[in-house]
């Protein structure tokens, strides 16, 4: 009989084939528990206890990071978390239709987002509020999507940050096409080259779109960093239901490098993302990064994770909190005083107050907007539908319902 270990990560030629083994209940639980371990291949520069791990391969990519820079990364993560918590509360108060929490994924998003250069392009899924922050998208600009009043109110080209994509994995095709364009237009090849980064989840790796994106990007050497945030869950499905191999190892089958980084370590994520983006901008793409992290809250505000996962798993991951380890490191090793932490706290209070104020006073969109904002130009059929709808809507009090 295969051991739980073999069942979870079978090696070729060792033990029975994974597909032939029917797991026992104990093996299933052992497999689920394996989610808390990143394995020996995990790149980590800052331990959960806030200690720096020297690493000759990856240190050069963050050797320029000063205490001031690390404080800024800390600030980015705290503000991002605060926006997330506030928006979550606003949904509970009926101000938003739904919210998608990023709690726990701050380091994966800030580390990779801050590795981007201004000319790079990013394609998010729907949880990338931290990456949005690094691309200069205002937190208030995210709210319309979750209130159901728009599909995102930022300019994707100006921010170099595409609109959110709810259809799982679809943005991987968009990003592959975009990155192929960067290649065809000669925008790769040196330090000033362009690169694209595409965010998706562990569950998305089971989608055909992601496979197709991997194939196209690979055979056209597209400058594309596939950034998979393995937060261990796809709603209620654990990663063990997506793959028999650690996800980063899938890259090998497509012919490009794959690497697993501690997604709760902002420094390691920054280092690995800088390397991957650099490879891409010099023409050596694509690259797959698996950021090993954990979704500490529900999938969305419509989900109740207590129905499908054990609370001790969450407790174990709390000890690996992405923000706490940086805080400890700053205090112990970088002479950071309480004054700095208080200041970041004040700033986050202010940001939360602004978000609340904005959300509570968001104007209702005019009834005709759904017709004017979808197509570049109208059509006789659409115009007729709009006119009929506006006439119907005008029959109600105030003409708005
Ligand atoms: C094509 C498609 N199928 C199903 C869904 C429903 N759905 C929304 S999120 C989700 C799970 C995604 O999990 P993962 O890729 O791990 O991303 P995470 O939400 O954990 O960030 C599913 C199945 C969808 N949005 N699109
Ligand atoms: Mg997931």
Q: Using H for helix, E for strand and C for coil, what is the string for 111-172?
A: HHHCCCCCCCEEECCCCCHHHHHHCCCCHHHHHHHHHCCCCCCCCHHHHCECCCCCCCCHHH
Relative to beta strand 287-292, strand 233-234 is unpaired
Among the atoms of ligand 1, which is closest to the Cα of residue 169?
A: 1
Q: Which residues pair with 194 in a beta bridge?
A: none
Helix H or strand E segment including 197: strand 196-201
Beta strand segments in 219-313, E = 224-230, 233-234, 237-238, 258-262, 287-292
Residue that has been written with the tokens 């006073």 in this structure: 361
Give me the pLDDT at residue 376, please. 83
Q: Which residues pair with 291 in a beta bridge?
A: 229, 261
Catalytic residue selected from 71, 299, 325, 327: 299
- Torsion sign over Cα 243, 4, 297, 73: negative
Closest ligand to residue 232's CA:
2
* Torsion angle (degrees, nearest 10) of CA 317, 10, 287, 181: -110
Give me the pLDDT at residue 122, please. 98
Give me the pLDDT at residue 374, please. 77
How many CA atoms are closer than 13 Å to the CA of 244, on its beta-carbon side?
A: 11
Give me the pLDDT at residue 373, please. 78
Q: Is 327 a catalytic residue?
A: no
Catalytic residue selected from 260, 295, 327, 329: 295
Helix H or strand E segment including 179: helix 170-184
Distance CA 150, CA 41 (A): 42
Q: Is 299 a catalytic residue?
A: yes
Distance (angstroms) between ligand 1 centre and the Cα of 196 equals 22
- With beta carbons less than 8 A apart as the criterion, state whether 90 and 99 touch: yes
Q: Return the residue whose CA atom lies nearest to atom 11 of ligand 1.
A: 234
Give me the pLDDT at residue 31, please. 67
Q: What is the pLDDT along the chain (401 residues), one digit of tens a residue?
A: 333 344 444 455 554 444 545 767 777 677 666 677 788 899 999 999 999 999 999 999 999 999 999 999 999 999 999 999 999 999 999 999 999 999 999 999 999 999 999 999 999 999 999 999 999 999 999 999 999 998 888 999 999 999 999 999 999 999 999 999 999 999 999 999 999 999 999 999 999 999 999 999 999 999 999 999 999 999 999 998 899 899 999 999 999 999 999 999 999 999 999 999 999 999 999 999 999 999 999 999 999 999 999 888 999 999 999 999 999 999 999 999 999 999 999 999 999 999 999 999 998 888 888 888 778 888 999 999 999 999 999 998 765 55
Distance CA 165, CA 153 (A): 14
Q: Residues with beta carbon inside 6 Å of ligand 1?
A: 127, 166-168, 201-204, 231, 233-235, 295, 299
Closest ligand to residue 231's CA:
2
What are the structure tokens assigned to 327, written together? 């805080």
Q: Return the residue whose CA atom lies nearest to atom 6 of ligand 1.
A: 168
Predicted structure pTM score: 0.92
**CA angle 189–191–194, rounded 5-degree value:** 65
Among the atoms of ligand 1, which is closest to the Cα of residue 168?
A: 26
């Amino acid at each position: 009989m295969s051991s739980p270990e073999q069942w979870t990560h079978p090696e070729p030629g060792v033990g029975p084939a994974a597909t032939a083994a029917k797991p026992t209940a104990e093996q299933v639980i052992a497999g689920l528990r394996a989610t808390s371990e990143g394995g020996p291949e995990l790149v980590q520069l800052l331990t959960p206890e806030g200690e720096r791990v020297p690493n000759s391969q990856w240190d050069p990519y963050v050797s320029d990071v000063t205490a001031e820079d690390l404080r800024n990364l800390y600030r980015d993560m705290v503000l991002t978390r605060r926006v997330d918590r506030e928006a979550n509360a606003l949904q509970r108060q009926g101000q938003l239709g739904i919210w998608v929490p990023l709690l726990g994924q701050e380091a994966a998003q800030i580390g990779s987002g801050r590795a981007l250069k201004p000319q790079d392009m990013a394609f998010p899924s729907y949880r990338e509020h931290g990456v949005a922050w690094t691309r200069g998208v205002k937190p208030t600009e995210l709210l319309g999507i979750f209130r159901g009043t728009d599909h995102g109110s930022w300019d994707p080209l100006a921010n170099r940050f595409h609109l959110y994509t709810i259809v799982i994995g679809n943005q991987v095709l968009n990003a592959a096409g975009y990155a192929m364009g960067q290649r065809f237009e000669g925008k790769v090849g040196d330090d000033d080259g362009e690169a694209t980064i595409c965010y998706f989840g562990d569950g998305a790796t089971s989608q055909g779109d992601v496979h197709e994106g991997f194939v196209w990007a690979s055979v056209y050497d597209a400058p594309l960093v596939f950034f998979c945030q393995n937060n261990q869950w796809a709603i209620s499905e654990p990663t063990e239901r997506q793959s028999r191999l650690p996800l980063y190892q899938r890259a090998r089958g497509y012919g490009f490098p794959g690497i697993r980084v501690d997604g709760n370590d902002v420094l390691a994520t920054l280092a690995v993302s800088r390397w991957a983006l650099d490879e891409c901008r010099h023409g050596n793409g694509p690259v797959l990064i698996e950021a090993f992290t954990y979704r500490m809250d529900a999938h969305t505000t419509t989900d109740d994770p207590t129905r499908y996962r054990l609370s001790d798993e969450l407790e174990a991951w709390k000890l690996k909190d992405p923000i706490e380890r940086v805080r400890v490191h700053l205090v112990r090793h970088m002479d950071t005083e309480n004054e700095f932490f208080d200041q970041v706290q004040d700033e986050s209070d202010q940001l939360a107050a602004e978000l609340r104020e904005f959300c509570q006073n968001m104007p209702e969109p005019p009834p005709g907007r759904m017709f004017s904002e979808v197509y570049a130009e109208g059509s006789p059929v659409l115009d007729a539908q709009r006119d009929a709808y506006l006439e119907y809507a005008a029959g109600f009090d105030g003409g708005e319902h």
